[in-house]
């Protein structure tokens, strides 16, 4: 998805410069300097760099995870959620959306594997539902809380950068959930 959008953007930038360089005879040969293959490689590189940045922004807060008592986690979540919502909420929303989309993908994988192994559609669906519920109830809230905790200490510039980078990821995760 991002690769196609990056290629579209690269094509528009290339067309803009081609229009400028084609006006003069001595710069006209530069129009054919960048072809479709080069644009595609560049767009793939941009998409890869964007995805690595998004993964880093989501994974960085999770590296400092500490095990706490459930009561302490609930109190911390209440305190953090009482604060005014700002750009700092982008990371937790991204973690929530990608966490739920990832849990759904794992559940589909479990369902397919169980269907092939057990030849029982009902049992496969039950196992998939159990996996989905377990992931959503046990892992996603803790990841969102840790991301919210980290975002609370992040600087404003970092939050703005995270919002720019993670917005397409949030849209893609929500799109995957809707399908």
Residue 85 has pLDDT above 80, yes or no: no
Query: Tens digit of pLDDT for each residue in 37-54?
Result: 887 888 888 888 888 988
Q: Is residue 172 part of a domain?
A: yes
Closest CA to 168 of 42, 1, 8: 1
Range of the domain at 80: 65-179
Q: Is residue 26 part of a domain?
A: yes
pTM for the structure as a whole: 0.72
Same domain, yes or no, for 22 and 104? no
**Top-confidence residue, 135 or 60:** 135
**pLDDT for the residue 104:** 94
Closest CA to 10 of 56, 57, 61, 47: 47
Same domain, yes or no, for 73 and 36? no
Distances (CA, A) of 121 to 4, 104, 118, 132, 133: 36, 17, 8, 16, 18
Same domain, yes or no, for 48 and 110? no
* Mean per-residue pLDDT over the chain, rounded: 84
Same domain, yes or no, for 103 and 176? yes
DSSP string, 119-167: --HHHHHHHHHHHHHHIIIIIHHHHHHHHHHHHHHS-HHHHHHHHHHHH
Query: Tens digit of pLDDT for each residue in 133-171?
Result: 999 999 998 888 888 888 877 766 677 888 888 888 888
Query: Tens digit of pLDDT for each residue in 109-126?
Result: 999 999 999 999 999 999
Residue 131 has pLDDT above 70, yes or no: yes
């Amino acid at each position: 998805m991002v690769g196609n959008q990056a290629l579209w953007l690269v094509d528009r930038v290339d067309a803009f410069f081609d229009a400028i360089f084609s006006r003069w005879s001595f710069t006209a040969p530069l129009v054919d300097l960048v072809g479709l293959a080069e644009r595609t490689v560049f767009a793939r590189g941009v998409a890869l760099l964007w995805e690595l940045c998004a993964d880093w922004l989501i994974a960085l807060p999770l590296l400092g995870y500490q095990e706490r008592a459930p009561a302490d986690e609930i109190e911390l979540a209440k305190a953090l959620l009482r604060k005014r919502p700002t750009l700092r909420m982008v990371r937790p929303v991204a973690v929530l959306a990608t966490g739920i989309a990832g849990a759904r993908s794992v559940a589909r994988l479990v369902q397919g594997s169980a269907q092939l192994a057990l030849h029982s559609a009902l049992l496969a669906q039950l196992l998939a539902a159990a996996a989905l519920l377990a992931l959503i109830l046990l892992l996603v809230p803790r990841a969102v809380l840790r991301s919210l905790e980290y975002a609370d200490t992040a600087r404003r510039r970092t939050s703005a950068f995270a919002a720019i980078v993670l917005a397409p990821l949030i849209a893609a995760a929500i799109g995957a959930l809707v399908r």
